[in-house]
Structure 1
Amino acid sequence: MPRGGKRGHKGRGKQFSNPDEIDRQMKAQKELEENPNAEKEGSGDSDDESSSEDDSDSRKRSGVEGLIEIENPNRVSQKSKKVAEVDVSAPRELSRREREEIEKQKSKERYMKLHLEGKTEQARADLARLAIIKKQREDAAKKRDDLKKDKDDDTKAKR
């Protein structure tokens, strides 16, 4: 029987955060937010610009995004190109299916070329079969000629 009885086990057990741990993390976060502002105030002439940049950063992020810095390499923003920037003369990359199709056609052409030259196993087998058939036909033609001559000789002898 599975761990969870008849219905089975679903997921992991719940883990609850310790309230003391949450308080400590909140205090650390507040200190991080306050310290960069204090350092920038002492720097001098770029006070107004830096504080406005900080405000815009905090406004853009909402919820948990402001707490955690995440850089996802798989999340790439699509940048649209202007018509003037697009280079038409540059070779475009082929898709996997297109590459496989071209490769298949080239291999088929290569095989047919070798086949016509008689270098493939199938071509050799075909040529051998043709040689046997030619020989059989020649033998059959000789037999017919011999029978015809015999018949002619018999008809001349009877006259």
Structure 2
Amino acid sequence: KKGHKGRGKQFSNPEEIDRQMKAQKELEESVGAEKGSSSESEEESSSDDDKRSGVEGLIEIENPNRVSQKSKKVTDIDVAAPRELSRREEEIEKQKSKERYQKLQMEGKTEQARADLARLAIIKREREEAAKKRDELRKREAEEAKGKR
């Protein structure tokens, strides 16, 4: 069974309808100007179309959930403007920057890496000095032990 139910409904955009109405009026006015006769009824209808009839004139209705698809011309697009990245692109960019930082960290080119290397050098020096002192103490103890025998 194929029926009409279940299909997506398409609604006209009010701005597009207004544009079409204005274009049609301009076309009618240009045809009327060529004939040389413009009746009062045409002037009244044009002023009435600018005002919305019924409740539409009283209440401004706009659906915040509806995103209007605006087509952009190539000349309107600003190439120099920074474009916003999607979440996925942001995550990829974060991961790449993290990898770059890790690489610089391993090479010792970042400030943090320099500070860590300096700290490690100090600790290494202290441990070497402590090892020398321990060796000296062991030698002294060994000499004292020999002297007591």
TM-score, structure 2 as length reference: 0.47
Larger Rg: 1
What TM-score does the superposition give when structure 1 sets the normalisation length?
0.44
